[in-house]
C-alpha cells in the first residue's frame, strides 16, 4: 500500500512539473534571458546600426546621470507615483465603500467604472487630449468660458501638463482598484459591522476603524501594483504630448519614454539598457519600501 501511495505521489509530481515546464521555458526565454542580455548591454556602447560591440564599463551610467533630460525624466516618473498612487487608492476606496452599500444595480455601476480600464489606452489618451485642447475645440476650456473663467493651457503648460496626465491615468485605473476593493469589502464578516453598530459606532467609525484596517492586505497589493503601473507610464504621455516627445520642455517625459527614444530614435541600445536597469532598480526599491512599511503598519 505504501509503495502504491509513493508511486502515485511520484506520478502527481511528474505531472505537475510537466505542466509547469512550458510556462517555465516561456519565463526563461521571454523574461529572464532578455533581462540578462539587457544587463550585459548596459556595459557596452552597442549601437543598433552597428555590428561592433565594445565593453565600456560604467561609462553609460556616468553619461546618463550627467544628462539633464534623464534627471528630468527620473523626477517626472517619481512625481507620477507621488501624485497618482495616493489619489487613485483614496478615490477607489471611497467609491468602493459607497458602491458596497448599493443593493440594486450594483453590477451596472461596477461596469461603468471598469469600462475606462478595459478601453484601449491609446483611444482614452486621444479623447482626453481632445478634452484638454484650447477653445473652441477643448471641452474643459469651453466649460471654463461658459462659466466666465479664464482658459488654461493644460497640456501646453509645463506646470499643468504632468497633472493632466496624472488625472487621465487615475481615471483609467479607478475601475480596476474599485473592483478589487469591492471584492475585499464583500469578504468582511457582517458580524463585525453589526457588533460595532450595536455598540453605537457611527458609519464613519465603522469605515475607518473596522473596514479600512481589514482591507490592509488588499490596499498593500493595490499600492504596489499601482506604483509599478505609474513607474512604467508611457502610452498616455506618448499620445497626449506633442509629437510624443513628453513635452512641453520634457515636463511630462517619464523614464520609459526616455528609454524608448534612446533605443529606437537614437539607436543607442547601451544607453537605453543602462536606463532600463536604473528603472528596474527604482521599481524594486519602491516596491520593497512599500511592502516593508505597510506590513509593519498592519
Q: What is the CATH number of the domain that holds 251?
A: 1.10.3720.10
For residue 7, give its domain range.
Answer: 1-41
Of 58-67, 187-196, 209-218, 273-282, where does mean pLDDT reach its minimum?
A: 187-196
133 and 191 share one domain: yes
16 and 70 share one domain: no
Question: Considering the domain boundaries, does residue 50 fall inside one?
Answer: no
Give the integer Cα–Cα distance in Å for 87 and 79.
Answer: 12
145 and 244 share one domain: yes
Q: How many domains does the chain have?
A: 2
Question: Considering the domain boundaries, does residue 79 fall inside one?
Answer: yes
Question: Considering the domain boundaries, does residue 245 fall inside one?
Answer: yes
- Alpha-helical runs (H) found in 101-202: 106-118, 121-131, 139-146, 161-185, 190-198
Question: Considering the domain boundaries, does residue 49 fall inside one?
Answer: no
Integer CA distances (angstroms), 201 to 94, 184, 192, 198, 215, in order: 19, 21, 11, 7, 19
CB-CB contact of 85 with 223 (8 Å)? yes
Question: Cα-atom radius of gyration of the chain, to the nearest Å?
Answer: 24
Give the integer Cα–Cα distance in Å for 263 and 270.
Answer: 8
132 and 195 share one domain: yes
111 and 153 share one domain: yes
End-to-end C-alpha distance for the chain, whole angstroms:
47
pLDDT tens figures, 90-145: 999 999 999 988 888 888 888 899 999 999 999 999 999 999 999 888 999 999 99
Give the integer Cα–Cα distance in Å for 26 and 33.
Answer: 10
Task: Spell out the residues 6+ positions from residue 152 whose beta carbon is closer than 8 angstroms to its own.
Answer: 140, 141, 144, 160
Give the integer Cα–Cα distance in Å for 81 and 231.
Answer: 6
Question: Considering the domain boundaries, does residue 106 fall inside one?
Answer: yes
pLDDT tens figures, 178-235: 999 999 998 888 888 888 888 788 888 888 888 888 898 899 999 999 999 999 999 9
Question: Considering the domain boundaries, does residue 46 fall inside one?
Answer: no
Cell numbers 520634457 correspond to what residue?
A: 250
Question: Considering the domain boundaries, does residue 53 fall inside one?
Answer: no
176 and 249 share one domain: yes
Amino acid at each position: 500500500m505504501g509503495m502504491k501511495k509513493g508511486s502515485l505521489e511520484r506520478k502527481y509530481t511528474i505531472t505537475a512539473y510537466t505542466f509547469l515546464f512550458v510556462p517555465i521555458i516561456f519565463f526563461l526565454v521571454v523574461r529572464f534571458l532578455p533581462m540578462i542580455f539587457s544587463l550585459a548591454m548596459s556595459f557596452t556602447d552597442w549601437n543598433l546600426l552597428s555590428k561592433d560591440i565594445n565593453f565600456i564599463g560604467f561609462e553609460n551610467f556616468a553619461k546618463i546621470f550627467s544628462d539633464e533630460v534623464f534627471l528630468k525624466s527620473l523626477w517626472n516618473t517619481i512625481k507620477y507615483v507621488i501624485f497618482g498612487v495616493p489619489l487613485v487608492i483614496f478615490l477607489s476606496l471611497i467609491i468602493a465603500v459607497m458602491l458596497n452599500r448599493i443593493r440594486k444595480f450594483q453590477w451596472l455601476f461596477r461596469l461603468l467604472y471598469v469600462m475606462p480600464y478595459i478601453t484601449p489606452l491609446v483611444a482614452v489618451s486621444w479623447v482626453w487630449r481632445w478634452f484638454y485642447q484650447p477653445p473652441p475645440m477643448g471641452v474643459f476650456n469651453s466649460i471654463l468660458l461658459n462659466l466666465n473663467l479664464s482658459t488654461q493651457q493644460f497640456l501646453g503648460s509645463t506646470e499643468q501638463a504632468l497633472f493632466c496626465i496624472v488625472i487621465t491615468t487615475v481615471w483609467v485605473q479607478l475601475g480596476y482598484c474599485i473592483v478589487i476593493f469591492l471584492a475585499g469589502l464583500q469578504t468582511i464578516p457582517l458580524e463585525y459591522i453589526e457588533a460595532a453598530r450595536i455598540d453605537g459606532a457611527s458609519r464613519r467609525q465603522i469605515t475607518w476603524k473596522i473596514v479600512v484596517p481589514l482591507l490592509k492586505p488588499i490596499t498593500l497589493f493595490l499600492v504596489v501594483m499601482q506604483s509599478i503601473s505609474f513607474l512604467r507610464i508611457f502610452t498616455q504621455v506618448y499620445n497626449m504630448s506633442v509629437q510624443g516627445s513628453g513635452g512641453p520642455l520634457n515636463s511630462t517625459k517619464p523614464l520609459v519614454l526616455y528609454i524608448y527614444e534612446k533605443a529606437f530614435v537614437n539607436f543607442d541600445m547601451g544607453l537605453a539598457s543602462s536606463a532600463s536597469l536604473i528603472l528596474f532598480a527604482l521599481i524594486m526599491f519602491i516596491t520593497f519600501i512599500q511592502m516593508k512599511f505597510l506590513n509593519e503598519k498592519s
